[in-house]
A = this chain, B = another copy of it.
Amino acid sequence: VARIVTAGTEDSFACDWLQGLCDSVGARLAGSPGYEAAVAYAVRTATEAGFDRVWTEPFDGPCWVRGAEHARVLAPVEFELPILGIGMTVGTPAEGIEAEVLAVTDFAELEQRAAEAEGRIVLFNPPWGGYGESVQYRTKGAVEAARHGAVAVLVRSVTNHSLATLHTGMMSYADDVAQIPAACVTVEDAGRLQRLSKAGATIRVRMLMDHETPPACTQANVIAELRGRERPDEIVLIGGHLDSWDVGTGAHDDGAGCAITLAAAQLLAKLELRPRRTVRVVLFACEELGGHGGQAYASAHADEVSNHVAALESDSGSFAPRGFTVRSSDAVIARLGELAAPLSSIGAEAVSAGWAGVDIHPIVELGVPGIGHRTHHDAYFHYHHSPADTFDKIDPEDLARNVAAVAALTWLIAEDETSLRDLATEVETE
């Protein structure tokens, strides 16, 4: 383990790989040409990295195409209003939408002022309350506003630090209410509009969004495997998601997770450490549009899910290593705590119960011990789903330490006489 950690912290594979992905491929929204380029890049680089087998697994998944977007405040003072359509939003009619704005802080205020929402553009300007709290306005805002007759929604970007930065992400519609267009605005503009509203101004906005939600697109998970020396049918799956949003270059989300897990397995191969069990790196497709790559993997591998000893996902950025959160039985958590103890040298020894990951969730639900790779991601939401999630935000030393942590734990799980799967008799639910 010490050898892996030392070699990992000195290895530049992840950094080089991630730079190539972010700079030369760039944004890679599910179903886009960018995603196809990412698949080609991953297949080529994994093949060159000496994996025993590299392949893709195509499936039909959702896709969404951002078109032109434009908004302008017309009153009480005219100014351009940069917007970023929320993933899967419908567009506006071709002539756009022009309406008065109802600015509210949160769902509670919308309920109180529901009578004012008819025909309006509802602006949600919730203060940051942590991602889980704040993201609801992005995911559910359109449905809640449409229930009261709103014609569109604008949502404060989901972030705790803004320099006039737009953050997108996913949303959904409900079957029983009209589908209305939804876009994020900057923290700055959301605040300005709500202050103007509180000061008594009538705000009018014109917005135009030309988005398309085509029928399902073919997309592919990318898989690279290092065969186990003794129990090749037993699989330790590690991975991240290869798709990103269409703004920025998905450096932390989740180019880093792909780089870390691919580099971790590559490191074992380079060190000629062929573990007892097979290490399978899966770079999942279509996470951002609903975790469809993970579902496709679970379906395609239904026959061998029971052979998966563990699944580790890295999807919380590449900041300083912290450790792992585990979705499995107490016995699995305890065993992982023992295995990870030597990682204290790089600060990655913390193991606790918690969320494992969107992509591995379908197989974790089927009993596979799920492990989420965790870093000190205080700055994560500064960049998340925005044009600022770029390679310059990656610290090469943190990245290498994350590779070391994941490589070491992967080795230990794949080598361990005890199968984590056998310890996972009782799956905890959150």
Contacts and interface: CB of A to CB of B under 8 A. Distances in A.
Interface of A: 19, 22-27, 37, 76-77, 79, 82, 161-165, 186-188, 191-192, 195-196, 199, 201, 248-249, 382-383, 386-388, 390-392
Residue in A19, A25, A77, A82 whose Cβ sees the most chain B Cβ within 10 Å: A77
Given A22-B192, A164-B248, 12 more contacts: A19-B195, A25-B77, A26-B79, A161-B163, A162-B388, A164-B165, A186-B387, A188-B248, A188-B392, A191-B391, A191-B392, A192-B249
A292 to B, nearest CB: 25
A382 B163 contact: yes
Nearest to A79: B26
| 7 A-B pairs closest in CB distance | A164-B387, A163-B388, A163-B163, A164-B388, A163-B165, A188-B390, A191-B392
Nearest to A167: B163
A199 B195 CA distance: 47
Given A163-B161, A165-B164, A188 B23 contact: no
Nearest to A166: B164
26 contacts: A22-B192, A23-B195, A23-B199, A24-B201, A25-B77, A26-B77, A27-B79, A37-B77, A161-B163, A162-B163, A163-B163, A163-B383, A164-B165, A164-B388, A187-B392, A188-B248, A188-B387, A188-B388, A191-B390, A191-B391, A191-B392, A192-B249, A192-B390, A192-B391, A192-B392, A195-B391
A27 B77 CA distance: 10
Nearest to A191: B392
A343 to B, nearest CB: 31
Nearest to A159: B163
Contacts of A37: 77
A305 to B, nearest CB: 37
Contacts of A186: 387
Contacts of A199: 19, 23-24
A222 to B, nearest CB: 19
Nearest to A22: B192
Nearest to A20: B199
Nearest to A392: B191
Residue in A82, A188, A248 whose Cβ sees the most chain B Cβ within 10 Å: A188
A249 B191 CA distance: 13
A248 B164 CA distance: 9
A163 B386 contact: yes
B27 A196 contact: no
Nearest to A73: B26
A139 to B, nearest CB: 22
A420 B121 CA distance: 57
A391 B392 CA distance: 28
A42 to B, nearest CB: 15
Contacts of A161: 163
